[in-house]
């Protein structure tokens, strides 16, 4: 593969600079400070709880004007958290009662306190969940099940209850509105490996050391010319990017053929766009999307990969994780790539995980509703011959 840098490019550092926000990089600060009384109700979440920081991001939100630090925190033991939380996608609050081991904590540099938290639905570990005051739906009777969350979300018209059910070692998530199963919030969960976080950081920092350049770029892949990002609409701009390309699928004639190895076609994703310069045409995709259980944070998330046919037997893919079930944030491409690589390998595909650098390293930064973190490496996936 040959790679050509484009005249149209802008790094995320340049994007941050354009907001005129100035603060000490949180990525250099290390461990989150112990929450104080000044943090109000949020400080109570951490009372008598041991925790560690999994990821630290610089944080800024254009719509609210907040900036500071965002931390992904993992508790030693799961617990119940109840209150009002923040949906960064729609910029509104939501109420929930959640069984959680992990949550994002947002520290505002101007106010010098925690201003927002957002929990991640955690697994029961087959031992404990929320107390189910109303009782489970009748179709769960006789099944091993645990209540993981209750959510009051705008537009649903009622309370969403999230259950985890078990058949042997297979976990299935079922979302109920009243007695009705909601497909958008339900499905069998793929359990990712308990991979080593240090190896991911090693890949990221190796990328920074060896490849100092990153940002939107035109790339040549075999005989196809495209970009190293997909876009939110049919317009090439660093301010219109969605996610970095993290996969190349070789030997696949259609994007749908790739999706059959993962979660199939999803009706629940927004369509994004990819420009294939070779044919001077745009192509769009909603992607393949399903539930992931991530042991790293004892959390359930959506894994989402969009796929674009860029050549006769060539498909490019972007990948990220979405918060479940609210989708209040989307990001962590470096984790998503690792998980989809594992799925591809289990399902009999030939994988070269760190195939080539594609000039699209990101983060660590929590930009609006996107925790961006990607090493810039693309994985190559083929069918076994």
pLDDT in tens, 253-307: 999 999 999 999 998 889 999 999 988 999 999 999 999 999 999 999 999 999 9
Give the pLDDT score at 1.
Answer: 47
pLDDT(14) > 50: no
Same domain flag for 365 and 241: yes
Structural domain contains residue 336: yes
Which residues, other chains included, contact 17 with Cβ-Cβ below 8 Å and sequence gap of 6+?
none
Give the pLDDT score at 197.
Answer: 87
Q: 327 and 289 in contact (C-beta within 8 Å)?
A: no
Q: 321 and 328 in contact (C-beta within 8 Å)?
A: no
pLDDT(3) > 50: no
- Number of neighbours of residue 276 by Cβ within 10 angstroms: 19
pLDDT tens digits for range 25-41:
565 454 566 655 555 66
Same domain flag for 268 and 346: yes
Q: How far apart are CA 72 and CA 81, in angstroms?
A: 15
pLDDT(362) > 70: yes
Structural domain contains residue 286: yes
Burial environment of residue 10 by CB neighbours within 10 A (0 to 12, 13 to 18, 19 or more) = middle
Same domain flag for 202 and 151: no
Same domain flag for 150 and 288: no
- Stated pTM of the model: 0.89
Same domain flag for 249 and 329: yes
State the chain's mean pLDDT as an integer: 87
Same domain flag for 248 and 169: no
Q: Is the dihedral of CA 357, 359, 363, 366 positive or negative?
A: negative
Beta bridge partners of 366: 59, 371
Cα atoms in the 13 Å half-sphere on the side-chain side of 97: 11
Domain of residue 177 covers 137-188
Give the pLDDT score at 5.
Answer: 33
Same domain flag for 322 and 368: yes
Same domain flag for 164 and 289: no
Structural domain contains residue 97: no
């Amino acid at each position: 593969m040959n790679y050509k840098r484009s005249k149209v490019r802008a790094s995320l550092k340049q994007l941050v600079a354009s907001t005129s926000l100035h603060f000490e990089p949180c990525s250099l600060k290390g461990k989150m400070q112990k929450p104080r009384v000044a943090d109000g109700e949020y400080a109570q979440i951490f009372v008598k709880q041991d925790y560690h920081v999994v990821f630290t991001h610089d944080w800024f939100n254009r719509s609210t004007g907040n900036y500071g630090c965002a931390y992904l925190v993992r508790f030693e033991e799961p617990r119940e958290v109840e209150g009002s939380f923040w949906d960064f996608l729609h910029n509104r609050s939501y109420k929930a009662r959640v069984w959680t081991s992990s949550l994002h904590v947002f520290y505002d540099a101007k106010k010098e306190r925690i201003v927002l938290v957002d929990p991640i639905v955690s697994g029961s570990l087959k031992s404990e969940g929320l107390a189910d005051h109303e009782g489970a739906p009748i179709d769960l009777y006789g099944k091993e099940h645990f209540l993981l969350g209750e959510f009051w979300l705008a537009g649903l018209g009622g309370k969403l209850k999230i259950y985890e059910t078990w058949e042997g070692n297979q976990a299935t998530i079922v979302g109920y509105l009243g007695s009705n199963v909601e497909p958008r919030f339900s499905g069998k969960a793929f359990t990712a490996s308990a991979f080593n976080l240090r190896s991911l950081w090693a890949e990221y920092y190796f990328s920074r050391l060896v490849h100092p350049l990153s940002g939107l770029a035109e790339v040549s892949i075999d005989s196809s010319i495209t970009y190293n990002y997909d876009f939110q609409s049919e317009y090439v701009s660093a301010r219109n990017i969605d996610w970095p390309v993290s996969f190349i699928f070789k030997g696949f004639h259609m994007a749908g053929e790739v999706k059959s190895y993962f979660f199939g076609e999803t009706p629940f994703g927004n369509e994004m766009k990819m420009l294939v310069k070779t044919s001077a045409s745009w192509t769009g995709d909603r992607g393949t999307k399903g539930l992931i259980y991530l042991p790293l944070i004892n959390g359930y998330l959506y894994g989402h990969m969009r796929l674009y046919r860029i050549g006769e037997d060539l498909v490019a893919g972007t990948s990220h994780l979405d918060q479940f079930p609210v989708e209040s944030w989307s990001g962590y491409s470096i984790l998503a790539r690792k998980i989809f690589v594992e799925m591809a390998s289990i399902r009999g595909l030939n994988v070269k995980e760190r195939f080539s650098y594609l000039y699209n390293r990101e983060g660590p930064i929590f930009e609006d509703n996107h925790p961006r973190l990607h090493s810039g490496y693309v994985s190559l996936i083929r069918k076994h011959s």
